[in-house]
Structure 1
Amino acid sequence: MLDTVWPDSWRAAFRIELRAEAIGLAWRGWPVIPGTYPDAEPGAAAQSATSMWTRPTPAHDDWESRIGAHPQQVAAWWTGRPYSLLVATGTLVDAIEVDDQLGRRAAVLLRATGQPAPIVALPNGRWLFLTVSANGVPRTLSDAEGIEWHGEGSWVPLPPTPFRHGVVHWRVKPEVWGWKLPSAEVVHDVLVRALEGEPHPHALRQVLPVEPSAA
């Protein structure tokens, strides 16, 4: 885990950034909740936990009751101890988690349609496509191996949450699109097309016949 070898001043700055991001998202109405942090507690037990760290989970058993907390409460949670930044899914936001290959194909197709979507990259090579909440996903996606829908009762990490080998970051920031989440149907459709192997837009243009120029 990167954080274990950072100087104390860097660790402090990193945790301040996590707190600031959590407060900012809470002010925008995003259901942020505290997540576990790899070296949150001192001692040998914490070192053992850090060595097994993979990804964060909610730091409190009653995390679902904390959804929708006021930004002031969020600020209090992140004061005095480090937490990862999680957002609960199923109320305002959902997420579709896919592998790197499918994520790249879907991002290209999504860009080609002109439909924006915030996209999160995880250090383990997974991608998260954020959408407004929905009741489910198409069966093509739910039955596909390696695709996970995060809806009601789940959560996803947001930047700059630490993982064992890196930090969560934005591939497409929500502010780029005015903090507007795309409809789930649009993103689901793009992911289905990417999963079924729809050609890359540039490749498609290369195989289409070229109209002869006018004499």
Structure 2
Amino acid sequence: MWGSNRPPLVELTSLERTRLRRVALRYAGHGWDVTPGAFLARDRFVCGRVGCPTTGCHPAIEDWERSASADPARVAAWWRVRPYGVLLATGRAFDAIEVPAYLGQRVLDATRPYARAETAAEGRGPVAVTPGGRWIFLVSPGEPLRPELDQCLYVIRHGFGSWIPAPPTRLAEGVVRWAVAPEETRWRLPDPYSVQEILVDALRAVAPAAPVTLLAGHLPAPRRGY
């Protein structure tokens, strides 16, 4: 562009960085601990750490568990230079239950406002979807997985010491999005047991003749990592 001393790529990166910082500050403003994630540069994730061997999405800070924060000044400083992905530390303000899309859609349908299930209202909360087909249900923290879910390889609970990529973080396949944005539920987190109960029902609906604990051998393998 004539009259500009800054390459277009730099301008786009700056706009993206500003947008990501604004979103990270909004999460932090609701008490959700944030940590910067490696950002996608062409075909690899860059965190800024020399010699980092991790090729997928990952925290950009080595001691991220200790430094993850909802402090607005700290969060703003992280996004001052680079367009980091926005990662949310779990096991603090919330836990997260991650499932494949075919189960996630069933759980979401069961928690719609028009659903008649008794647990619908108690199970409705924010839901993120990755471009790779993983659905992430945010729930109140502290509740372990029910035994029948804990033995399912494709159902993952993110508690303390884990993290999830938050919209609009960009992954290799595309951008993470909200299926149910936090604003839609007024940042309310659902009862984790209610979500798990709906998930168990969804599993039984997929393969009603098989015990829930044995379904892992009959359904598609889980996708791990981002």
**What is the TM-score with the length of structure 1 in the denominator?**
0.80
Quote how far apart the aligned CAs of 1:24 are: 1.0
Contact residue 38 and residue 59 of structure 2 kept, 8 A: yes
Task: Confirm whether residue 12 of structure 1 aligns to residue 20 of structure 2.
Answer: no
Letter in 1 for 2:38: T
Counterpart pick for 1:160 among 168, 176, 179: 168
Larger-Rg structure = 1
Distance in 1 (CA, whole Å) between partners of 2:70 and 2:177 is 24
Contact 2:31 2:70 in 1 (8 A): no
**Corresponding residue SS for 1:193:** helix
Residue correspondence of structure 1 range 1-215 to structure 2 within 5 A: 7-39=9-41, 53-54=55-56, 56-111=57-112, 112=115, 113-115=120-122, 116-197=124-205
Matched residues, percent identical? 38
- Counterpart-to-counterpart distance in 2, 1:188 and 1:166: 28
The letter of the residue matching 1:64 is E
Q: Show structure 1 runs of 5+ residues with no match.
A: 1-5, 200-215
Contact 1:38 1:53 in 2 (8 A): no
- Report how far residue 139 of structure 1 moved: 1.2
The residue type paired with residue 81 of structure 1 is R
SS at match of 1:96: strand
Contact 1:33 1:66 in 2 (8 A): yes
Structure 1's 196 and 14: CA in aligned 2 closer, same or farther, altered over 3 A?
same
| CA distance in 2: counterparts of 1:81 and 1:7, whole angstroms | 13
Residue 165 of structure 1 and its aligned partner are, at CA, apart by 1.6
Aligned residues: 189
Across the aligned residues of Structure 1 and Structure 2, the Cα RMSD in angstroms comes to 2.6
2:61 and 2:13 map into 1 onto residues whose CA distance is 22
Q: Distance in 2 between matches of 1:106 and 1:167?
A: 22
Structure with higher helix content:
1
In the alignment, the residues of structure 1 paired with residue 199 and residue 9 of structure 2 have an alpha-carbon distance, to the nearest angstrom, of: 41
**Alpha-carbon distance, 1:195 to partner:** 1.2
AA aligned to 2:29 is W
**SS of equivalent residue, structure 2 residue 39:** coil
Q: Please, which runs of 5 or more residues in structure 2 have no aligned partner?
A: 1-7, 208-226
